[in-house]
């Protein structure tokens, strides 16, 4: 059973001819094998194996009601937090037999801001994924919803702004910021500032959570939020502002680990020993030279639970599923003498 032309890719017609069955039966074996007898299924698969035939996933997607795969759109491929979530989600999807296709949802803009990749969305619309996992805050989430009206959408590690029908799985930012403020207060700190609040709804939520945690300890008079996004340079600039304008705080909580690294650098440049906390527990936080106290939002659990919702192996949350965070205490926070 060899293809007529060895240089030509074998087709479904070649398989049907080699197995002595119809083309429609071969299609049925790949689309719904339980509806075909085991004997005829074996003949088709044996013929396909000998010919080296593989079903064309794109063609099947265009011909069917959906692409029989899960699309994963990542806000920023350079963000190590998103990588951890995607890895966990893909492991879970593979475990239950789901095929996933992952790509960045955005293109870097002229001002280092990411913009939605419209051409990519058009491609995904044509392929019709059965489900879509959005990891992180992508610009114009409403555009994603418009091209995937028939797909189940799950948003991981972001707030599902403009996606009222999407399911959300993310870390509990209120609990996470409470952990770091409680930790710093326990070390004797009162003058605790925050750098963040910019870069999206999650940054805003963490800033508000910091303010609430400070209020819970009766420290409203010490509340200070220096504007910063998720970048190291922004964290450095925000910390510089705090350290040079009036009384410097004894501790700084940051919107994420990269901003915290920038704050540590600024403190070092001023030869100041201040406690700094991050958020997300990226690999940077555990590096010996950084040793950053930070919040672990449960990235592995976020990715796994998001995949479970997409594959239908768990009941979707009515609104959002919040994963309990943990505090990772390292050398960047110390007790006030």
pTM of the model: 0.78
Report the domain count for the chain: 3
Q: Are residues 236 and 269 in the same domain?
A: yes
Asked whether residue 190 is domain-assigned, the answer is yes
Q: Are residues 201 and 292 in the same domain?
A: yes
pLDDT at site 62: 45
Asked whether residue 102 is domain-assigned, the answer is yes
Ranges of residues in the chain with a pLDDT under 70 are: 1-7, 31-33, 55-67, 109-114, 145-150
Residues 6+ apart with CB under 8 A from 248: 242, 270, 272, 274
Cα–Cα distance for residue pair 80/193, rounded to 1 Å: 25
pLDDT at site 111: 45
Q: CATH number, domain at 18?
A: 1.10.260
Tell me the C-alpha to C-alpha distance, in Å, between residue 273 and each of 85, 235, 244, 295.
Answer: 34, 17, 14, 21
Asked whether residue 219 is domain-assigned, the answer is yes
Phi, then psi, of 234 in degrees rounded to 5: -70, -40
Residues 6+ apart with CB under 8 A from 330: 285, 286, 291, 292, 293, 294
Cα–Cα distance for residue pair 16/185, rounded to 1 Å: 73
Q: Are residues 104 and 197 in the same domain?
A: no
Q: CATH number, domain at 217?
A: 3.40.50.2300
Asked whether residue 136 is domain-assigned, the answer is yes
Asked whether residue 6 is domain-assigned, the answer is no
Q: Are residues 187 and 291 in the same domain?
A: yes
Asked whether residue 332 is domain-assigned, the answer is no
Q: Are residues 267 and 249 in the same domain?
A: yes
* 166: containing domain: 70-171+300-323
Asked whether residue 251 is domain-assigned, the answer is yes
pLDDT at site 7: 59
Q: Are residues 47 and 98 in the same domain?
A: no
Q: Are residues 165 and 310 in the same domain?
A: yes
Asked whether residue 2 is domain-assigned, the answer is no
Q: Are residues 107 and 33 in the same domain?
A: no
pLDDT in tens, 247-287: 999 999 999 999 999 999 999 999 999 999 999 999 999 99
Q: Are residues 159 and 192 in the same domain?
A: no
Q: Are residues 248 and 265 in the same domain?
A: yes
pLDDT in tens, 122-147: 777 777 788 889 999 887 777 776 66
Q: Are residues 210 and 142 in the same domain?
A: no
Q: Are residues 194 and 264 in the same domain?
A: yes
């Amino acid at each position: 059973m060899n293809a007529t032309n060895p240089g030509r890719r074998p087709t479904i017609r070649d398989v049907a001819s080699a197995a002595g069955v119809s083309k429609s039966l071969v299609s049925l074996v790949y689309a719904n094998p339980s509806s075909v007898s085991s004997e005829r299924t074996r003949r088709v698969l044996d013929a396909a194996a000998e010919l080296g035939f593989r079903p064309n996933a794109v063609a099947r997607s265009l011909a069917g009601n959906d692409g029989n795969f899960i699309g994963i759109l990542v806000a920023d491929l350079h963000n190590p937090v998103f990588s951890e979530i995607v890895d966990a989600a893909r492991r879970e999807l593979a475990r239950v037999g789901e095929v996933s296709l992952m790509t960045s949802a955005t293109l870097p803009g002229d001002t280092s801001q990411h913009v939605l990749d419209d051409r990519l969305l058009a491609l995904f619309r044509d392929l019709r994924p059965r489900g879509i996992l959005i990891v992180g805050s992508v610009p114009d989430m409403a555009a994603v919803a418009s091209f995937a009206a028939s797909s189940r959408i799950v948003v991981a590690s972001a707030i599902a702004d403009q996606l009222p029908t999407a399911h959300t799985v993310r870390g509990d930012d209120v609990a996470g910021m409470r952990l770091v403020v409680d930790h710093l207060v326990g070390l004797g700190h009162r003058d605790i500032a925050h750098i963040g609040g910019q870069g999206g709804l999650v940054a805003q939520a963490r800033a508000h959570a910091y303010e609430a945690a400070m209020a819970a300890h009766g420290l409203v008079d010490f509340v200070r939020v220096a504007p910063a996004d998720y970048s190291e340079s922004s964290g450095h600039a925000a910390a510089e502002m705090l350290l040079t304008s009036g009384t410097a705080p004894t501790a700084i909580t940051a919107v994420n680990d990269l901003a915290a690294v920038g704050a540590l650098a600024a403190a070092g440049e001023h030869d100041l020993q201040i406690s700094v906390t991050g958020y997300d527990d990226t690999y940077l936080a555990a590096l010996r030279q950084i040793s950053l106290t930070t919040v672990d939002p449960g990235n592995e659990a976020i990715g796994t639970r998001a995949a479970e919702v997409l594959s239908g192996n768990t009941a979707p949350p009515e609104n959002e599923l919040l994963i309990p965070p943990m505090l990772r205490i390292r050398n960047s926070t110390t007790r006030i003498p």
